Amino acid sequence: MFVDPNEIVRHLVGLKDVRVLSYARRGPVGELTVEQVVDAPTCPRCHQRVRVKERPIVDYTDLPFGGVPMTLRWKKHRLICVNKACSMGSFTLGDHRLAAAGVMLTTRAAKWVVKEIASGQNVSHLARELRCSWDSVNTATRLYGAALLVADTKRLKETTAIGLDETLFVREGPYKKKSWSTTVCDVVNHQLIDVIATREFTEVAGWLRQQPHHVKDRLDYGCLDMSRTYSAVFRVVTPKATQVIDRFHVMRHAIAAVDGVRRRVQQHQQGHRGRSGDPLYKARKLLVIKETKNDPGLQARLEGLLALGDPDGEVAFAYGVKEAVARFYLTETIEEAEDLLRDIIDYGSKKSAPMEVRRLARTLRNWFDGILAWHEARVSNGPTEGMNNLLKRVKRVAFGFTNFENFRIRALLYAGKPNLRLFDSIVVK
């Protein structure tokens, strides 16, 4: 099929002062060679005439056209100022409409890549699709993504509840060094506000302090996992905000307690860690899932397994406490919730309770107000539920980053709801 090069250039470039030199197919890839229309170029410093020193060709990955992967071969002008009094020396003419400096994707392709990343696509997939390197896609994402986030000054909405959560991101490299960061979410609008490079009090409090008044002074709720650091941040910077412990975090502790008891009892009974034939090992999923208590068959199976492997009823005890914690989240009034939470703590603190449950009861007592505040926050149509889903999205992108800023930009593109329409007016030079 014959494709008119001028047709292609209108689609691919569409710029009046860019001239097509040739179009060729190299295997499956279309190669379009272009140059800028330059007459009488002058030195940007002394404004005298300059002469052409070299015409290097630089290849840029472009968007496919008509199903054909495209390379834009840009025959550049390397110029030199001949004015002896001028310090300019040689320089290369650029054109940000074609491609930004340091990016091996055309501007069009770079903006497309960022939109794809924002909708959840990953870098490797895009690199394959464009037939370019992972680095090329990553660099384009970083530069154009950062420019978008800077330009999008209206990204954050007014909110009455934000959440702080620690997020692990793993640095690539031989040691897979683990680093912790702090994600800040607007849990009312389900939006990632920012990612902070540490989980230390000074940095996180400093970040919150720097927020505009309409963010930090209108906060009704500060949501957190059971972290003393984040609790202190809210207490110091936004003392009027009620601290709320997310349901997900409380349930996770309750489930961990059941699991801890199960593993200890099993070890004691069998003298080894869980194996597929052991009754408690078989029971481990039934102990966790919500359906168990609603399904008589599963319930009977669980009781049977516990009868075999839990002679002192310790696992059953922990399971009962976990179920009570789940019930706490189903109570209708805050009074009912408060009574139940106190009962759970008293029951779980008994001397006869397994030590894992006593530890859980201590945690629940330490965070009593924040755990109870979940009900109040829910009643006021506030935060909680959405936060965990949002964090799951962020955590999905949090692995394998060499560089925190890369992670931050990618997380914000993905979960920060940037206004992608701004891209039409964004210039990256």
List of residues contacting Zn ion (CB under 5 A):
43, 45-46, 81, 83, 86, 88
Nearer to Zn ion, 85 or 330 (CB): 85
How many angstroms separate the CA atoms of 288 and 257, rounded? 11
Torsions phi, psi for 34 (to 5 deg): -130, 165
Nearer to Zn ion, 10 or 47 (CB): 47
Minimum distance from residue 32 beta carbon to Zn ion (Å): 32
Q: What is the CA radius of gyration of the chain?
A: 30
Question: CB–CB of 408/195 below 8 Å?
Answer: yes
Minimum distance from residue 48 beta carbon to Zn ion (Å): 5
Minimum distance from residue 82 beta carbon to Zn ion (Å): 8
Question: CB–CB of 38/75 below 8 Å?
Answer: no
How many angstroms separate the CA atoms of 392 and 117, rounded? 16
Minimum distance from residue 51 beta carbon to Zn ion (Å): 11
Paired with 196 in beta bridges are 182
How many angstroms separate the CA atoms of 112 and 28, rounded? 21
Tokens of 399: 């692995």
How many angstroms separate the CA atoms of 223 and 91, rounded? 53
- Residue 96's CB: how many other CB atoms inside 10 A? 12
Nearer to Zn ion, 88 or 340 (CB): 88
> What sign for the dihedral angle of Cα 94, 100, 106, 111?
negative
Minimum distance from residue 91 beta carbon to Zn ion (Å): 9
Q: If you search the block for the tokens 């029971």, which residue do you land on?
A: 283
Minimum distance from residue 102 beta carbon to Zn ion (Å): 24
Nearer to Zn ion, 83 or 349 (CB): 83
How many angstroms separate the CA atoms of 263 and 274, rounded? 7
Nearer to Zn ion, 44 or 311 (CB): 44
Minimum distance from residue 77 beta carbon to Zn ion (Å): 15
Nearer to Zn ion, 49 or 327 (CB): 49
Q: Determine the distance from the C-alpha atom of residue 141 to the mean position of all C-alpha atoms in its chain, rounded to a whole number.
A: 14
Nearer to Zn ion, 51 or 157 (CB): 51
Full strand arrangement of the beta sheet holding 78-81:
50-54, 78-81, 90-92
Minimum distance from residue 86 beta carbon to Zn ion (Å): 3
Q: Determine the distance from the C-alpha atom of residue 297 to the mean position of all C-alpha atoms in its chain, rounded to a whole number.
A: 40
Nearer to Zn ion, 1 or 85 (CB): 85
